[in-house]
Amino acid sequence: MSDAKTPIVMALLLWLVSSLAFAQNYPSKPIRWILPFAPGGGTDILSRAFVPQLSAALGQPLITDNRPANAGLVAADSVAKSAPDGYTIMTGGNSSLMFAKLTYAKLSFDPELDFSHITLLALAPIALYVHESVQAKSLQEFVAYAKANPGKLNYGAAGVGHPFHLAMELLKQRSGIDLLFVPYKGMEPVIQDVVAGRLQAMFYPPTSQLLAMIKAGKIRVLAAATPQRLSILPDTPTFDESGVPNFDAAGWIGLVAPAGVPKDIVMRLNREVAKIARTPELAKVYAQLSFEVATGTPEEFSQRIKRDLAAWGPVVKSLGIMLN
């Protein structure tokens, strides 16, 4: 080895040794958990449910920090720019960690490159609902009815680019139907108008509120937009079973840290979170929120983002959605 290369090799060895020692001593101080939405929402409730057990497992406090601004983008930007030491983590959804890359002309971070993807936490499955007056009791019948009545059925979602808006546009592209989109400022008025018959269709998670409306005969659920049938809707077929293959429009929530966090730290967090997600305490929270447990490897999380970008990119492009 030449004398010129010796300092470089020694520097690399010192960096490797110090990195290993740092990871072995982790954590040695409180961890800041950024929550990108206001308290009380699904992401916030699920995240906080992990805190007591994760804090006990790591031996350090977890300090929650709500930063509700610009659909989670402000929080994501701050985490992407934080030190990659494992002391800043964030719960993010597919809105900020995937859709933002497709819908914003200028984004201050890259969801694929600027984060260490620790693990998916949950899937937020959705299903297709119609008002009871719609002459369709299955997805196949709905598609046939919509084709026979082009432009006469309308659906709602919470604004242009909302995941439920994009889910219906994906269905329109896959099945060749023509529905009229009515944008709302939130999903609660959409639900009210579907129940009242002012809207004919919508996508939404299978909440207890909607299950009660189904039981009362006010709305009908046609298909689950998930790879497998949902435990909460065991008799409802998936889109795949209904003739529209590879239709996975479930929302998701995942745990991330800044890019560059040592692998040992990422895997420590991954293992602890996966164990906690399957405890009876968390099972109750998942059921309360109509979420499905979705923990897995960091690589699986990264692949989910990549796969979703490929699936939704053409839909967003066809709609010409581009936000500033």
CATH code of the domain covering residue 214: 3.40.190.10
Q: What is the pLDDT of residue 283?
A: 96
Whether residues 219 and 259 share a domain: the answer is no
148 class by beta-carbon count within 10 Å (0-12 exposed, 13-18 middle, 19+ buried): exposed
Whether residues 261 and 182 share a domain: the answer is no
Whether residues 292 and 310 share a domain: the answer is yes
Whether residues 119 and 260 share a domain: the answer is yes
Q: What is the pLDDT of residue 9?
A: 54
| Number of compact structural domains in the chain | 2
Whether residues 82 and 17 share a domain: the answer is yes
Q: Which CATH number characterizes residue 281's domain? A: 3.40.190.150
Q: What is the pLDDT of residue 23?
A: 63
Whether residues 132 and 118 share a domain: the answer is no
Instruction: For residues 24 and 26, give the distance between their C-alpha atoms in angstroms, rounded to a whole number.
Output: 6
Maximum Cα–Cα distance across the chain: 83
**Domain for residue 287, yes or no?**
yes
Whether residues 10 and 117 share a domain: the answer is yes
**Domain for residue 172, yes or no?**
yes
Q: What is the pLDDT of residue 323?
A: 82
Spell out where 60-166 has E strands.
62-66, 88-93, 115-124, 127-131, 154-157
For residues 263 and 297, the answer to whether their CB atoms sit within 8 Å is no
Q: What is the pLDDT of residue 15?
A: 44
What's this model's pTM, rounded to 2 decimal places?
Answer: 0.83
DSSP per position, 191-210: HHHHHHTSS-EEEE---HHH
Whether residues 106 and 12 share a domain: the answer is yes
Whether residues 277 and 133 share a domain: the answer is no
Q: Give the mean pLDDT per block of 10 residues along the chain (324 residues).
A: 57 49 82 93 94 98 93 93 98 92 92 98 96 97 97 92 91 95 92 97 93 97 94 94 92 97 98 98 94 96 96 92 83
What is the span of the domain harbouring residue 176?
127-224
**Domain for residue 240, yes or no?**
no
Whether residues 134 and 116 share a domain: the answer is no
Residue 140 identity (one-letter amino acid): Q
3-class DSSP assignment, residue 38 = coil
